[in-house]
Amino acid sequence: MRRLVGAALALGLAGCAGDNFRPEDAVAVRPVGGEALPAPTLAETQLRSGEFQLGVSDKIAVRVFGAPDFNVDTAVDPTGAVTVPLIGDVPATGKTTRELAADIAGQLGARYVRNPNVTVTLIEATSRRVTLDGAVRNPGRYALAGPTTLTEALALGQGTADNARTSEVIVFRTIDGQRFAARFSLRDIRGGRAADPAVFGNDVIVVADDRSRLLLQDIAQAAPIVGMFYLFR
């Protein structure tokens, strides 16, 4: 069996933003069976029920109407908290901006400001990134600002390149330490013949070109059902 794109590709691309996909970097993996993709965990995707949840390193702006002394632009620190003037550390990971604003308002109202009006705005989603590689105009890692589909993710890299094989797009995903891969057809998605699947933080999306076609064909053969994730190891 030819070498398959799998675990090392997903890990290597995640650490080498902007590096082009090289078939010679692929490693041997073996499909162990097709199954529906398990639900992503919070720690691995930080996306839940269509709402963006804050993670470590995400940058936010806290604004308190009529009380500018509490305003701050900050980032979620490694402990999962943000620091607000006079209040101190407020837990932030796993919360939406609305939930965090409510927590901050509760602490302000109890100690400093009557009926505070607090807003929290996401400045940069550093903790949720998707990797685009292969026949993409601008390969690299891109932040997801909210629920994102496959075609929307590819648009972050300015779309597919002229030599792209749009019927052969592979999405790699890690769930609970296990690595999965699924094949999608942009032709079918764009033509309304297939749904545009959701993608999540830490996904690796590889668009086939002539150079990588043979390797990706192996995955296509091992994962014959389009849109179904298969477990690789």
**Dist. CA 67–CA 45, nearest whole Å:** 35
Q: Is 19 or 180 the better-scoring residue by pLDDT?
A: 180
- Would you say residue 175 has pLDDT above 80? no
Whether the Cβ atoms of residue 40 and residue 128 lie closer than 8 Å to each other: no
Contact 54, 97 (CB under 8 A): yes
Please tell me the least confidently modeled range out of 52-56, 123-127, 216-220: 216-220
Tokens representing residue 131 in the block:
């990797």
What mean pLDDT do residues 22-31 have?
38
Choice among 13-22, 106-115, 149-158 with the minimum mean pLDDT: 13-22
Question: What angle is formed at CA 219 by the lines to CA 1 and CA 23, rounded to 5 degrees?
Answer: 75
Max avg pLDDT among 8-22, 24-38, 109-123: 109-123
**What pLDDT is attached to residue 54?**
87
The sign one gets for the Cα dihedral 40, 226, 11, 136 is negative
Position 2 confidence tier, pLDDT thresholds 50, 70, 90: very low
Question: At 51, is the secondary structure helix, strand, or coil?
Answer: strand
Of the ranges 75-89, 186-200, 219-233, the best mean pLDDT one:
75-89
From residue 142, give the alpha-carbon distance in Å to each of 111, 129, 138: 40, 5, 10
Q: pLDDT digits over 109-151, tens only?
A: 998 999 999 999 988 877 778 899 989 999 998 888 777 899 9
Q: How are beta strands 230-232 and 31-34 bridged, if at all?
A: antiparallel
Mean pLDDT of 185-192: 91
- C-alpha angle with apex 34: 28 to 35, nearest 5 degrees? 130
Banded model confidence at residue 33, pLDDT cuts 50, 70, 90: very low
**Rounded mean pLDDT, 75-88:** 93
Q: Is the pTM higher than 0.95?
A: no
Residues 95 and 168 sit within 8 Å (Cβ to Cβ): no
Is the predicted pLDDT of residue 28 greater than 60, yes or no?
no
* 48 has a pLDDT exceeding 80: no
Judging by DSSP bridges, how do beta strands 88-91 and 81-84 pair with one another?
antiparallel
User: Hey, what are 125's tokens?
Assistant: 């989603």
Which residue in 173, 144, 142, 157 sits closest to 207, CA to CA?
A: 157
